[in-house]
Amino acid sequence: MALVRLVDIDELEGAPRAVADSGNAQYGQLLNTWRAIMNRPEMFETYLPFLRKVAGPGVLDQKLKDLCALYVGVLNHCRYTASHRSTSALKNGVDETTLVQAAIGDWASFDERTRIALEFTKELTLNPAELEYSDLPQAVASEVLASLKNNFSDAEIVDLAMTVAMWNALARFHRVMGFELDMPEAPKGVNPK
């Protein structure tokens, strides 16, 4: 059961209602995340357009963004995030085997950019909770940051860092809210424990 009441679309007016209608038209349903955030209509009004900018097409390859977002969900042990990001990745052409390989850390067959992006995702997700600022100020090892700089443009790095940061925030939001799944279960081997 969700921690907060899930708002019905009919409770919204004006711009928040227009954003909700747009999301409903795009996905064919109102997602539980949205319905929770709708408790703050003015927040929801800016949330969904921002999410579309970060999670949607950008300068970074969409399949790579999807893999990194899925990995964030797995690392945060969030079934809801893993479900949503698996659904997105499959829709965007990532095959199930690749999803499982990314989720379990079996990256040997991936190209260098994918391996670097996933390592960056892992470190940016796990290190801030484990390492003090004085030990690793940027939360990611200098070798990984150097590889990132050597293989990605500045715009791609911003796209990747925003993707990882946003999904970390959302995975934690999803977990504390206790949402029931509103998309298909993540494929076997991807689902967080």
Paired tokens of 103: 């989720």
Amino acid residing at 126:
L
pLDDT the model gives residue 192: 78
Left, alpha or beta for 2 (phi > 0: left; psi -120 to 50: alpha)?
A: beta
Cβ count within 10 A of residue 73:
29
| Residues 128-152 pLDDT 10s | 999 999 999 999 999 999 999 999 9
Mean pLDDT of the chain: 96
Judge whether residue 193 has pLDDT over 80.
Answer: no
CA angle, residues 145, 129, 87, in degrees to nearest 5: 75
> What pLDDT does 76 receive?
97
Question: Could you tell me the pTM of the whole model?
Answer: 0.95
Domains annotated on the chain, with CATH: 9-55 (no CATH), 62-177 (1.20.1290.10)
CB 47 within 8 A of CB 96: no
Longest dimension (CA), the chain: 51
Q: CB-based contacts of 104: which residues, under 8 Å, 6+ apart? A: 189
150 vs 15, 52, 88, CA distance in Å?
42, 28, 28
Tens-place pLDDT, residues 18-38? 999 999 998 899 999 999 999
Instruction: Please check the confidence at residue 120 and state whether its pLDDT lies above 80.
Output: yes
CA–CA distance, 119 with 42 (Å, rounded to integer): 36
pLDDT the model gives residue 191: 81
pLDDT above 90 covers a percentage of the chain that reads 95
What integer is the mean pLDDT of 152-181?
A: 97
Contact present, 55 and 163 (Cβ < 8 Å): yes
What is the predicted pLDDT for the residue at 109? 97
Q: What is the structure's pLDDT at 1?
A: 85
Is 46 within 8 Å of 70 (Cβ atoms)? Answer: no
Q: 132: Cβ–Cβ under 8 A, 6 or more apart, which residues?
A: none
Q: Is 145 exposed, middle or buried (0-12, 13-18, 19+ CB in 10 A)?
A: middle
pLDDT tens string 102-115 = 999 999 999 999 99
- Rounded Cα distance, 150 and 138, in Å: 17
- 14 pLDDT band (50/70/90 cuts)? very high
Tokens representing residue 17 in the block: 């209602």
Task: Please give the Cα distance from 1 to 154 (Å, whole number).
Answer: 42
Q: Average pLDDT in the 69-88 region?
A: 96
State in Å, rounded, how far the first CA of the chain is from the last one.
19
pLDDT of residue 157: 98
